[in-house]
Structure 1
Amino acid sequence: MEEVEVVVAHTERATLRVGDVFLKIDADRARTDVEVEAMAIAPIPTPRVLWREPPVLALAALPGTALGRLGEPSTASPAAWAAAGAAARTLHDAPLPPWPGPSVDELAERLDGECAWLVANEVLPADLVTRNRRVAEAALRPWTPAFVHGDLQLSHVFVDGDEVTGVIDWSEAGRGDALFDLAVLTLGHEEHLGDVLAGYGTDVDLDVIHAWWSLRSLIAVRWLAEHGFDPSAPGCEIDVLRARR
């Protein structure tokens, strides 16, 4: 009999694995709607939808292994990281999805709220928050909308050798800043940014990448802590914030 593996579980959603099938349970049907539609139109490999019976979505497992995990060294080759960059470029060059993403004003408002909470609750030193809030400003500018994954963590990109076999977890996909995807992909793995950009194949503003590292980390700390994750673990979000100057 195959065992049930809990891949991730918190109050918003849970993912279980039974053999080669992943069962995603999400009470927010709109989030699952986005995931299914995004996978259907994305021009890069995605998991195959086996069936859907809300609130459960069944997906086939992808071949290969994740590019890596935040807080751990990646064993993937530079070529695999470059392939991830090339996949991101293919996605960003695709026609826009029909639904919007967050606006600059919405992101700025959320950032202000999270920074205020971090300081008021003494979660992080005020000078660390202020410094990273200043760095994050560079991300809050007009951008040309692209088809973005929206949560392109390295653990969501699967590779076999030097090739990308698929990308998972599309519930945050929409229209957004292409550099946000590149920043999330390399968060905590700054040493692989050059490999990703080599595969991406076009010049990018590194200050904006750095800004998204700070912004992403600042707005994630409270959510992670409230959902059973540790943003202070070595190499994770708080270390990313400490590394910014």
Structure 2
Amino acid sequence: MAGVDEIEVVVAHSERTTLRVGNVFLKIDADQTRTDVEVEAMAMAPIPTPEVLWRKPPVLALAALPGTALGRLGEPSTASPAAWAAAGAAVRALHDAPLPPWPGRNVDTLTSRLDDECDWLTTNGVLPADLVTRNREVAEAALRPWTPVFTHGDLQISHVFVDGDEITGVLDWSEAAQGDALFDLAILTLGHEEHLSDVIAGYGADVDRDVIRGWWSLRSLLASRWLIEHGFDPSSAGCEFDVLKSRM
């Protein structure tokens, strides 16, 4: 890393900071169990992931991926339909892989958290009660039994890198676990509903779009308080609050 002109802060909050130094990403995490999961999940995943250069807790050093992110939440994606389909195919390969040995979230826990977050959003006047109630109803579609698969767990489009129409790698595996396949598809297309058909075409299987819409609402309701408390703005154009409003 000699001769680096600057250090880029990629993301920073009280739980985790990621820096870019040249072609190396340095991830500093307060909870090393998340880093344990990330390293093991990348080793297990059947799709391209960043190379682990070294680990000296609390720092994990990863090589930068070639290409550019599939997009950003709140911004139009310039990636081609073929690139979105390739992302769907990569997700299918992950879901067809052997399960990781650690469990993920369950319906009862999610339901309890959802009730708490909805109450916080309405009690504190963050969102109108009718908006929260409507999205709580939509979210019910996701709260059903599922057959667990190997999920990434935080498959935001900014975590999927492409070069042209090809996937070059997927970042940020600290939330990987056994989970619902449609959750990954929902997070990948959150705020980019216009690309859902491309992703499903690449995924190559029938999916219940009502469940995906349920996950869009559920994830946006669950994430809003955390985003606000950690210095992010879910009311930005195209982000979580707009996702919730679109269900009205």
The TM-score bracket by the shorter chain reads: over 0.9
Q: Secondary structure at the match of 2:216?
A: helix
The whole-number CA distance in structure 2 between the counterparts of 1:184 and 1:94 is 19
Identity %: 81
Partner of 2:213: 210
Partner of 2:90: 87
The whole-number CA distance in structure 1 between the counterparts of 2:25 and 2:161 is 15
**Does 2:235 align with 1:243?**
no
The whole-number CA distance in structure 2 between the counterparts of 1:127 and 1:234 is 20
Partner of 2:58: 55
The whole-number CA distance in structure 2 between the counterparts of 1:42 and 1:110 is 29
The whole-number CA distance in structure 1 between the counterparts of 2:95 and 2:201 is 15
The whole-number CA distance in structure 1 between the counterparts of 2:245 and 2:8 is 34
Partner of 2:170: 167
Q: Secondary structure at the match of 2:206?
A: coil
- RMSD of aligned residue pairs (Cα, Å): 0.5
Partner of 1:220: 223
The whole-number CA distance in structure 1 between the counterparts of 2:228 and 2:30 is 21
Q: Secondary structure at the match of 1:111?
A: helix
| Equivalent residue for 1:28, pick from 13, 16, 31 | 31
Q: Which runs of 5+ in 1 are unaligned?
A: none
Give how far 1:169 is off.
0.2
TM-score (norm 2): 0.98
Residues 93-104 of structure 1 aligned to structure 2 (within 5 Å) = 93-104=96-107
Q: Secondary structure at the match of 2:60?
A: strand
Residues 2-41 of structure 1 aligned to structure 2 (within 5 Å) = 2=4, 3-41=6-44
Give how far 1:27 is off.
1.1
Q: Deviations over 1:155-184 (max 9, x none)?
A: 000000000000000000000000000000
Q: Secondary structure at the match of 2:182?
A: helix
Q: Which runs of 5+ in 2 are unaligned?
A: none
Q: Which runs of 4+ in 1 moved over 3 A?
A: none
